[in-house]
Structure formats: structure tokens, C-alpha cells
Structure 1
Amino acid sequence: MQSEFKIPTREHIHIRNRKISIWGILIALFLVYLVYSSFYIVPTGSQAVVFRFGKLMDIKDAGIHFKIPFIDSVQVVSVEEIRRYEFGYRTIDPGPPAKYKDVPGESKMLTSDNKIVHVYWAMQYKVSDPAKYVINLPSDKKKLEKIIRDTAESVFRQVVASHSFDEILTTGKELVQTETKQRIQEIMRDLGYGLNITAVQIQDVMPPDEVQGAFNDVISARAEKEKTILEAQSYANKVLAEVKGTASKTINEAEAYKYQRIKEAEGRAGRLRLLIQRHSEAPKVVETELFYEALKKMSENGVKFIVVGDGVKIINLDNLLQSLNKQSSSQGGDSK
């Protein structure tokens, strides 16, 4: 049987070329996708968890990294973002002014003395171990939130139940926050969630409406007491500062007087040493000078006359000083 050979028509050639072009485009697109999917970018403040065939392979920091397409899978997790959950309320509008919505089922709690209290609080956390976070927690946001919320709320209720009504409403807030933070952190670590609890903050504590009035009276009385204590401390500090200032002034004055007296004594001692030296050299001259100085001081103090012996002879002090002064001047002239 003789085979027939058909010459391709122009239409057949056109169809074949078009098929080749389509395949070429598809292959090119596939290669582009292959190259594109081989690289990924980890933004600043995040880390990438790399899996190969579903097995954890590596954790990459911020930057551009390579992966094997269809074999490696990557999940990027923010490790610097601080996440926040609110309990007993929800922020509707951050404002200002901020608007909130109560969630009574979360805020209503029982204290150690079997009293009801409404506590509104918030918890902040961030991812500390992205591998544990990805492996042990679901990727679905609602499921993830439920797990973390249920764990935190359960711990908080246990802590509140270990404290009295008065402690929760007044002085025990800091202690409740600290205990809750520590316990939640321990549970998160034991469960391997890779979370770091950064803060537990009690926003508000309210008693039931039935006892709100009495509670307000207690708060007012406590505030008045604290105000009185602060005023007393302020007055005590003021008086103490004044006493310290007076004492310091007295000490300084005493030190100055002491210094002055020492200098005066040193001056007198120096003058006495000089007189002793001069007296050994010229005793009559020194004695005359001392006698003259004594008479001069008496004259300055208002003394006009002196009585010599048994009151027989009265000497005018001014005349005596003039005479001694002339005698001293003549002696000085002779010495020249």
C-alpha cells in the first residue's frame, strides 16, 4: 500500500507555530515564577521560620534569603511587635476621647472572701521564640487568640481568688499584676508557646452596684488620710530643714568666732614675744612706751586726773601725756 504524503498548508503551519509560542510563554512564566519563589524577604523586626518537607530547618533574621521552591516553606513572624489583649472590656475607639465596651462575662470575678468584684485588665506580650510559636500554636488568628485568652484569663481568675475583696480594690493591685504576669509566663513556657509576657495591667476595679456607695466612702476616707499624712510629712520636712539651716548658721558663726579669737591670740602672743625681745635690749624705753599706752587708754576712757600715793598729789592726765609725748619726741631727735 502506498503511503500518501501531504504537504502542510499555511494554516497548519500557523497553528503549529502558535502552539509552540504558547508553550514557550508558559515555560518562561514558569521559570520567572520559579526564580521569584526562590527568594523571600524578611522585614526588620521579624524572623522567618524555614521548613523543608515539613521539618524545621532554620530561623532567618531580617534580609533577603533563598529557599528551594516547592520543597521549602517559610513563615515570617514579627518578634518586636507588642500584641495586646483586653479583658472585661474592648476599646471601640482609641479617641481622644477613648470609647470602651464592657464585657461583663470577663470582668466579673470572685475573691478569696467570696465577694464579687469587676476587674478590667489587659495583657501585653510578644513572640520570643518564633519556631515554637509557629509549631505549637495555630495559624488561624481566632483560634490563636482563644488559646492565649483562655490561658491568661484562667490564671488571672485564680490569682484574684487568692486575694481578699479589700486587697483587690485597694492596696493589692500591684501584687495581683505581678503574680499574674509570673504565672502566665510560666504556663506559656511549659506549653512551649514561645511567648514573652511583657505586662499585665489592671485598668480599673469596681465593686458591684449594690456596694458602690459604701466603697466610694471608704476610698474618700483613705484619700483624706493619705492627704493628711502627706501634709504632716511636708511640715516635718520644712521644720527639719529650718532647724538644719539654723544649726548650720550657728556652727558657721562659732567657727568664724573661733578663727577670730585664734588670730587675736596669735597676734597678742606675737606682740608679747616682740616686747620681751625689745625689753631685753632697752628695758626703760619699753616700760615708758607701755606706761604711755596705759595712760592714753585711760584718757580715751574719760579719765582726766590721777591720784598718786595716799591722795596727796593729783596729776592732770592730759598734761602728763603731753609731757611724755614731748620727752619721747626729744629722745627720738637725740637718737638721730
Structure 2
Amino acid sequence: MAWNEPGNQGKDPWGNRGGKDQGPPDLDEVFRKFSNRFGGGGNFSGIGVVLVLVGALIVYGLSGLYKIEEAERGVVLRFGQFHSVVGPGLGLRPTFVDKVYPVNIQRVNRLNASGLMLTKDENVVTVQMEVQYRIEDPRKYLFNVTDPDQTLSEALDSALRYVVGHTTMDNILTVGREQVRQDTWEELDGIIAPYDMGIRVVDVAFKEARPPEEVKPAFDDAIAAREDEERYVQEATAYSRQVEPQARGQAERMLKEADAYRQRMVLEAEGEVARFNQLLPQYEAAPVVTRERLYLETMEQVYSNTSKVMVENDGGSMFYLPLDKIIQGQSPASVQPMQNAPSSQNRAIRSTTSEPINNRVSGRQGRN
């Protein structure tokens, strides 16, 4: 039952017994009772005021306590106007006089821009790009522009549409993506420079570029064909890099062999010249003998490279000497006449040709 309902004879909140008086108690009487409890008297009013003032000052001081993180800087406004920029740590500001706005200057912030855009060759392409930026000047970031993030987003969209409008669709989708990214970055820096927003663009990332869904299969085929072309070019380049060193090695080897052959021929010619210079005095002393000896030595060199010898006798018959079989130890009867001739002539030729040439030459030299 509530304290003020009929029939309630309990105590009400104001200390009225019986429930007859519904009004609140007198404040002066409350303070007087409170002072009497503490043995006060007339001095309670002054002490109470002091305590209230001290408590108010403490609360006022604590309400002005603030903290700036390590990655932040605090922008202080005094009566609504810029006053200073404070560093990290704890600080105390006068409440209702100063306001401190912390600004993170180390965090990398990100903004995206995307949409359908018209290219230079009048095609429509969907492009998405992301800008990453950092706050360098907290004061300019807060007060030079009303909404710096929105301003930067609109500047990015404007720069991206300008660059895409001056680029063909093939370059945007394939090989020209890096150039589009760099051009967009430069254009964005040029747009935001007059605003002096206190931010610095860290990077511009090309997130996505694709044709509209209606023509996407055709563009996928074109991209696949371009990738095949690049793959073939790379394979041909790898093959040329493999074959070219081999060809260079072969050419170098042929040049070395030709140079070695030239040197050998020169040395052999010089040896022949030296040999003929040595034979010249002997030829002058005995021309006929020297000439015959040279002839026999030359014929010996010629016949040493063949296994067949043709001998012509005085009767006009031509005989064949199988020297290869004679060397192998077969019978001399294998000598076959090329034409019919008397057997006495055959025996004479065999006995004559079977004598070593060197012996005959040495015998003639001894006789001479």
C-alpha cells in the first residue's frame, strides 16, 4: 500500500506521522538538524560552503583531464578558436574553456572509388580504385575543409574518371593498369593540392577493372588470346636464349678450328720451304739423283695411302697389285693381269714390284 493511500497510517517520506500533512519538510529545519548532529551551530553554513566549493573545484579539475595516445596529436581549441597542438601523454584543460580533439597521424586511412566509366574508345568499364592516405597536419585536416574524407573521395572519383576517359579499354583491362594507377595518383595530387587538407597520399591501388556483364564472355576470350600470345612470345624468347649460346659456341669453335688449320698450313709450308732450302745444295751437286729421289719419295707417299697399284710393262699390259692382301700374308699368286701377257713377264713384274721401294732407292744412291 502506498504511503498516501486512504487508510495508511504509516510514515510518509517527509516524516509526517499520521498522513495528515502532505507537504515536504522545511529545508532550514533539515539543515539545522544536520548541524546539530555535528555539534555545529552557526558556523556550519560557512564550512558547508567551503566544502561544496572544494568539491566543485575537484570535480571541475578532474573533468578537464585528458589523454593523447602515442600515435595521436591533440588540437586544442580555446573558446572555439585554434590555440595549439599538443603531443602524446596526459594533460589538463580548463573545462568549458578548452576543447581537445585527438587526431591519429600514424594510421593509414583508406577510401574507395568505383563505378561505371566511359573509356576513350567509347566503351563502358567498371573500375574500382583505393587510395591510402595519412594525416600530416591535424589543424589543417580539421579546419581547412569541412569534411576532408568526403572531399578526398570525390577528388579520387574525379581523377579516376578523367584518367579512364583518356585511356582505351584494352589498356585498362590488360597491359595499361599500372599506367592508369600512376596517372590517377598524379591527377589526385593535383586536385587536392589547392585545398591544403593536411593529408598525404601514401598509395593508390588498382583494385578491379572489368567489362559489363553483358559483354564479359567476349572480353574473356580476348584476354585469353592475349595471354596465349604473351606465352608464345615468352617461349620463343626462351628458345632463342637457349639456341643463341649454342650457335655462338659453334661459330667460335669453327673460328678456332680455322685459325688452327691456318697455323698448321703455315707451319707446314714453312717446313717445306726449309726442307727445299736444305735440298738445294744437294740438287746443285747431283741434279739427276736428287730429282729421282724426290720422285720416288713422292710416289712412296702417294702409294702409302692406297692398297691398289697399277703396273704397266713394256709389252703394254696393265697389272693389278693387291697390296692389302699381300700385307695380310696371302699368296703372291693373287696378282692378276689386266690383259693376257706372257707368264715370264708376269714373274718379272712381280719380282720387280715385290722389292721394297726404299731398298731400290738406297741401292741406286749407293751406286751413284
Name the TM-score class by shorter chain. Answer: 0.5 to 0.7
Tell me, which stretches of 5 or more residues in structure 1 are unaligned?
1-7, 89-106, 258-304, 313-336
* Residues 57 and 308 (structure 1), Cα distance of their counterparts in 2 relative to 1, 3 Å cut: farther
CA contact (8 A) 1:130 1:194 kept: yes
Q: Structure 1 CA distance, aligned partners of 2:250 and 2:92?
A: 77
- 1:77 Cα deviation after fit: 0.9
Asked if 1:203 corresponds to 2:207, the answer is: yes
Does the CA-based 8 Å contact 1:188-1:195 persist in structure 2? no
Q: Are the structure 2 counterparts of residues 112 and 14 from structure 1 closer, same or farther at C-alpha, using a change threshold of 3 Å?
A: farther
1:153 aligns with 2:153: no
Match of 2:366 in 1: 311
Deviation at 1:244, TM superposition (A): 6.1
Question: Helix, strand or coil for the counterpart of 1:191?
Answer: coil
After TM superposition, the score normalised by the length of structure 1 is: 0.58
Aligned match of 2:104: 78
**For 1:226, what is the secondary structure of its paired residue?**
helix
- SS of the aligned residue for 2:193 comes to helix
Q: Which has the higher contact order (CA 8 A, sep 6+)?
A: 1
- The equivalent residue for 2:288 is none
> What amino acid is the match of 2:138?
P
Residue 293 of structure 2 corresponds to which residue in structure 1?
A: none
Tell me the secondary structure at the aligned position of residue 311 of structure 1: helix
Distance 1:35 1:234, change over 3 A: same
Residue of structure 1 in register with 2:64 after alignment: 37
Residues of 1 paired with 2:188 and 2:108: CA distance? 16
For 2:32 and 2:206, the matched residues in 1 are separated by: 85
Distance 1:248 1:71, change over 3 A: farther
Residue 221 of structure 1 aligns with which residue? 225
CA separation of 1:35 and 1:243: change in aligned 2, threshold 3 A = farther
**Aligned partner of 1:118 among 126, 135, 154:** 126
SS in 2 for 1:74: strand
Distance in 1 (alpha carbons) for counterparts of 2:64 and 2:58: 10
Give the length in aligned residue pairs. 237
Following the alignment from structure 2 to structure 1, what is the Cα–Cα distance between the partners of residues 93 and 77?
10
Aligned counterparts, 1:269-280, within 5 A: none
Q: Say if 1:252 and 1:84 are closer, same or farther in 2 by CA, change over 3 A.
A: farther
Question: Which residue identity lines up with residue 41 of structure 1 in the other structure?
Answer: K
Amino acid at match of 1:134: L
Structure 1 partner of 2:270? none
Summarize deviations over 1:183-214 as a string: whole Å, max 9, x none.
22222221121121222222221112232222
TM-score with structure 2 length normalisation?
A: 0.53
SS of structure 2 residue aligned to 1:57: strand
Question: Partners in 2 of 1:310 and 1:75 — Cα distance?
Answer: 126
Q: Which residue of 1 aligns with 2:116?
A: 108
RMSD (Å) for aligned C-alpha atoms: 3.9
Cα distance in 1 for residues equivalent to 2:85 and 2:255: 70
Kindly, what percent of the aligned residue pairs are identical? 27
Q: Retained in 1: the 8 A contact 2:73–2:105?
A: yes
Amino acid at match of 1:24: L
Q: In the TM superposition, what is the alpha-carbon distance from 1:108 to its structure 2 partner? A: 1.1
In structure 1, C-alpha distance between the alignment counterparts of 2:51 and 2:107, rounded to whole Å: 45
1:91-127: CA deviation from partner (whole Å, max 9, x where unpaired): xxxxxxxxxxxxxxxx211122322111122221111
Structure 2 unaligned blocks of 5 or more: 1-30, 261-358
Structure 2 counterpart of 1:180: 184
CA distance in 2: counterparts of 1:231 and 1:222, whole angstroms: 14
Which position in structure 1 is the counterpart of 2:172? Answer: 168
Q: Give the aligned residue type for 2:102.
A: V
1:51 matched residue in structure 2: 77
Q: Which of 1 and 2 has greater Rg?
A: 2
Separation (CA, whole Å) in 2 of partners of 1:85 and 1:187: 16
Distance 1:128 1:82 in 2: 11
Q: Aligned-pair distance for 1:222?
A: 0.5
